[in-house]
Structure 1
Amino acid sequence: MKGHYQNILCVLYDTHKQDEVVAQAIHVAKSHQAKLTIMLALETLPPNANIVMESFSYIDSEQSMDSAAESWLQSQSETWSTDYPVTCEARFGHPFMEVMKKIINDKHDLVIKLSETTIIDRLFGSDDLQLLRKCPCPVWVVHRGNAKQYASVVAALDLNYHYPEHEISVRKQLNLDILRHATEIALLEFAQLHIVHVFDSVPEHILRGEFISVDEDAMQHDLASIHKERDEELDRLLEELDKEREAGVLDYLQPQRHLVHGYPRKEIAATATSLAADVVVMGTVARLGVPGYIMGGTAEETIHQLPCAVVGLKPDGFVSPISFDD
Structure 2
Amino acid sequence: MEKYQKILTIFDPTTEDQKAFERSIELAKKTNATITAFLSIYDFSYEMTTMLSSEEREAMRASVIKDRELWIAEKIAAVDNEGLIIDSKVIWHNRPFEPIIEQVINEGYDIVIKGTHEHDKLKAVIFTPTDWHILRKCPCPVLLVKDHSWPKDGNILAAINVGSDEEEHISLNKIITEEALNLAKLIDANVHLVNSFPGTPVNIAIEIPEFNANEYNESMLNHHQTAMAAHAKEFNIDSNNTHVSEGLPEDVIQNKALSLDAELVILGTIGRTGLSAALIGNTAEHVIDGLNCDVLALKPEGYTSPLAM
TM-score, normalised to structure 2's length?
0.83
Q: 1: distance between equivalents of 2:73 and 2:138?
A: 27
Trace 1:248-263 onto structure 2 (pairs within 5 A).
250=237, 256-263=241-248
Q: 2: distance between equivalents of 1:215 and 1:29?
A: 59
Superimposed CA distance per residue, residues 244-270 of structure 1 (whole angstroms, 9 cap, x where no aligned partner)? xxxxxx57xx86111111233433223
Trace 1:206-285 onto structure 2 (pairs within 5 A).
206=203, 211-213=206-208, 218-242=212-236, 250=237, 256-285=241-270
Aligned counterpart for 2:179 among listed residues 181, 187, 196? 181
Aligned counterpart for 2:195 among listed residues 187, 197, 200? 197
Contact 1:49 1:58 in 2 (8 A): no
Q: 2: distance between equivalents of 1:224 and 1:74?
A: 58
Contact 1:12 1:18 in 2 (8 A): no
Show the counterpart of 1:247.
Answer: none
1:301–1:211: structure 2 CA closer, same or farther, 3 Å change rule? farther
Show the counterpart of 1:153.
Answer: 156
Contact 1:157 1:282 in 2 (8 A): yes
Q: Does 1:133 align with 2:131?
A: no
Superimposed CA distance per residue, residues 295-314 of structure 1 (whole angstroms, 9 cap, x where no aligned partner)? 96222222222222211111
Trace 1:95-106 onto structure 2 (pairs within 5 A).
95-106=96-107
Superimposed CA distance per residue, residues 275-312 of structure 1 (whole angstroms, 9 cap, x where no aligned partner)? 3222211111178xx86445962222222222222111
Contact 1:283 1:315 in 2 (8 A): yes
Contact 2:162 2:231 in 1 (8 A): no
Q: For residue 177 of structure 1, what is the amino acid of its counterpart? A: I
SS in 1 for 2:301: coil
The Cα RMSD (Å) is 3.1
Q: 2: distance between equivalents of 1:264 and 1:206?
A: 20
SS in 2 for 1:17: coil
Q: For residue 109 of structure 2, what is the amino acid of its counterpart? A: H
Show the counterpart of 2:110.
Answer: 109
Contact 1:110 1:138 in 2 (8 A): yes
Q: For residue 32 of structure 1, what is the amino acid of its counterpart? A: T
Cα distance, 1:18 vs. partner? 4.1
Aligned length: 301
Q: 1: distance between equivalents of 2:246 and 2:113?
A: 32
Identity %: 26
| Runs of 4+ off more than 6 Å | none
64-73 vs 185-194, greater mean Cα deviation: 185-194
Q: 2: distance between equivalents of 1:134 and 1:266?
A: 25
1:266–1:88: structure 2 CA closer, same or farther, 3 Å change rule? same
Cα distance, 1:174 vs. partner? 0.4
Superimposed CA distance per residue, residues 103-132 of structure 1 (whole angstroms, 9 cap, x where no aligned partner)? 111121211110134696553221111111
SS in 2 for 1:102: helix
Q: 2: distance between equivalents of 1:159 and 1:286?
A: 19
Q: 2: distance between equivalents of 1:192 and 1:46?
A: 49
Trace 1:31-46 onto structure 2 (pairs within 5 A).
31-46=30-45
Contact 1:154 1:194 in 2 (8 A): yes
221-230 vs 301-310, greater mean Cα deviation: 221-230
SS in 1 for 2:235: helix
Contact 1:20 1:147 in 2 (8 A): no
Contact 1:196 1:268 in 2 (8 A): yes
Gaps of 5+ in 1: 163-167, 243-249
Cα distance, 1:7 vs. partner? 2.0
Q: 1: distance between equivalents of 2:8 and 2:149?
A: 16
Q: 1: distance between equivalents of 2:209 and 2:265?
A: 34
76-85 vs 270-279, greater mean Cα deviation: 76-85
1:118–1:236: structure 2 CA closer, same or farther, 3 Å change rule? same
Cα distance, 1:68 vs. partner? 0.8
Contact 2:19 2:145 in 1 (8 A): no
Contact 2:163 2:227 in 1 (8 A): no
291-300 vs 134-143, greater mean Cα deviation: 291-300
